[in-house]
Structure 1
């Protein structure tokens, strides 16, 4: 089994059989808002807003790019590789939120990317984001992005 598949199975196993929270719940609205605002900033090269949503102890797992555990390196990569070059779109109807008691939530869904430099579009791909509730709102602590 590929390491990323094993990691996904370990992360998602506890959620099998658990229903996502209602789209009307405050938790769903808060996590959806965090995702929306982070990726609006991602699409507009607003690094200050992106910084506010990224935890200091970030672990970002990318099937093509590997593991990143440095928030400063992540922000640098976003500035150098994403700003004005890539746009992200959430695939409608795929966003799910699952509560993690006394911690935060897991958001899962599909998204696609538009490479503005090459004018190409990716196929919808899976993502998993673990959000920790903090005094400053929800922060992304673990992210898995698959293509």
Structure 2
């Protein structure tokens, strides 16, 4: 066997192993972010303001296509408590979550969800797109940026 053939085979094996390791790491990241999404929106749906507060970063930026930009974590939590608690629940569109790593920072989550207003039980809820930027600090994940599109 020629040396160049051996080198090419080793490069191929190395690339294959690297791709398999990346796929496993990306799958683990997707599982982590999907779980965090479920945890956050369980708190959202049950009005657990303490849990929501824990999951938001202090330097939060929340972009809402209808409501505009909110940069105060406290103001966002107050708005959620006043306008959402006991009135609106969120439903994830199953299978819609995409997760991408952000090197040396965390991850970006993109997906579709629906909101149901119990004040309008017959209203049809159309899926809206969302983007959440998650920052990993030590073993903690925080929501730093949200883009909510309806």
TM-score tier by shorter-chain length is 0.7 to 0.9
SS at match of 1:49: helix
Deviations 1:81-120 (A, max 9, x none): 0101000000011101000001000000100000011223
Specify the alignment match of 1:133 in structure 2: 136
Task: Return the index of the structure with the highest Cα Rg.
Answer: 2
Could you list the runs of 4 or more consecutive aligned residues of structure 1 that deviate by over 4 angstroms after TM superposition? 21-24
Secondary structure of the equivalent of 1:118?
A: coil
Matched, 1:124 2:127: yes
Distance 2:24 2:111 in 1: 15
Which shows bigger deviation, 39-48 or 117-126? 117-126
In the superposition, the TM-score normalised over structure 2's length comes to 0.80
Could you tell me which residue of structure 2 aligns to residue 83 of structure 1?
A: 85
Root mean square deviation of aligned Cα? 1.6
Please report the TM-score for the alignment, with normalisation by the length of structure 1: 0.82
Q: Distance in 2 between matches of 1:22 and 1:77?
A: 39
How many residues are paired up? 127
